[in-house]
C-alpha cells in the first residue's frame, strides 16, 4: 500500500513538473496557459484580394511583403529575401520589389500576429521555383494550448528539390468572408 501511494505521488509530481516546464518555455515566447499579446497587430485591414473575388478584410503579417528584408522573420536553411514581387501588387504599393525565397531544406517562421479562434483564412502568393512535385507546407504555430490570441506561421518546402518564392502574406482576422 505504501509503495502504491509513493508511486502515485511520484506520478503527480512528475506531471506537475512537466506542466510547469511547458508553462515557462515555448517556441514563440509564450506559455501553456496563455500567449500574451501578439508581437504585431495590423490595425489597417483592407480588401487586398477583392480582384480575386474575395471581399474579406485582410490584415498583413509583420513584414509579410518582405519589403523590410528579413525583419520579423526567423529563417534557416538558406531562406532569404530576394528581388521580385508578386505580379498583382495586392499591397497597393507599386514600389514593392521583394519576396521570400525558400530553397529546398529551408524554412521561415513569422513573428506572432493577432489571432482569434476560428480565423482560418490565410492568403499569400506562392510561386513554385523548384521541382514540380514539390509542395509548400504551411504550419500554424500556436504558442499555447489555452487562451490563444496570437499565432505564428512556418513555411517549409517539402519534397526532393522543392523550392518556392512567397510574398504578401495576409490573415483574415475577422473571418468575414
How does pLDDT run across 112-168, given as a tens digit for each residue?
888 766 666 889 999 999 999 999 999 988 876 666 778 899 999 999 999 999 999
The pLDDT of residue 21 is: 32
Q: Comparing 47 with 121, which gets the higher pLDDT?
A: 47
Q: How far apart are CA 115 and CA 67, in angstroms?
A: 23
> Cβ neighbours of residue 92 under 8 Å, at least 6 residues apart?
46, 48
pTM of the predicted structure, to 2 decimals:
0.76
Of 111, 113, 53, 65, which is closest to residue 89 (Cα–Cα)?
A: 65
Q: How confident is the model at residue 17 (pLDDT cuts 50, 70, 90)?
A: very low
pLDDT band at 105 (very low <50, low <70, confident <90, very high): very high
Q: What is the pLDDT of residue 127?
A: 97
pLDDT band at 14 (very low <50, low <70, confident <90, very high): very low
Average pLDDT of the chain is 79
DSSP per position, 36-65: -S-SB--S--B-TTGGGT----BEEPTTTT
- CATH 3.40.50 describes domain 34-171: no
* Position with higher pLDDT, 129 vs 2: 129
Q: What pLDDT sits at residue 167?
A: 97
Q: Are 163 and 104 in contact (CB under 8 A)?
A: yes
Tell me the three state secondary structure of residue 83. Answer: strand
Sheet strands (E) in 92-162: 98-102, 107-110, 113-114, 122-128, 135-141, 150-158
- For the ranges 3-17, 30-44, 48-62, 91-105, the maximum mean pLDDT occurs at 91-105
**4 pLDDT more than 50:** no
Amino acid at each position: 500500500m505504501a509503495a502504491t501511494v509513493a508511486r502515485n505521488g511520484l506520478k503527480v509530481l512528475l506531471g506537475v513538473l512537466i506542466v510547469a516546464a511547458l508553462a515557462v518555455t515555448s517556441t514563440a515566447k509564450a506559455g501553456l496557459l496563455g500567449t500574451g499579446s501578439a508581437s504585431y497587430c495590423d490595425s489597417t485591414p483592407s480588401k487586398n484580394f477583392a480582384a480575386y473575388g474575395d471581399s474579406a478584410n485582410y490584415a498583413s503579417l509583420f513584414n509579410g511583403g518582405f519589403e523590410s528584408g528579413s525583419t520579423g522573420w526567423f529563417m534557416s536553411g538558406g531562406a532569404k529575401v530576394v528581388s521580385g514581387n508578386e505580379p498583382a501588387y495586392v499591397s497597393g504599393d507599386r514600389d514593392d520589389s521583394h519576396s521570400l525565397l525558400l530553397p529546398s531544406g529551408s524554412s521561415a517562421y513569422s513573428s506572432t500576429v493577432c489571432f482569434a479562434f476560428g480565423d482560418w483564412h490565410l492568403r499569400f502568393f506562392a510561386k513554385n521555383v523548384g521541382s514540380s512535385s514539390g509542395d509548400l507546407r504551411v504550419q500554424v504555430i500556436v504558442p499555447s494550448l489555452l487562451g490563444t490570441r496570437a499565432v505564428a506561421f512556418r513555411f517549409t518546402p517539402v519534397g526532393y528539390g522543392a523550392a518556392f518564392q512567397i510574398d504578401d502574406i495576409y490573415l483574415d482576422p475577422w473571418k468575414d468572408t
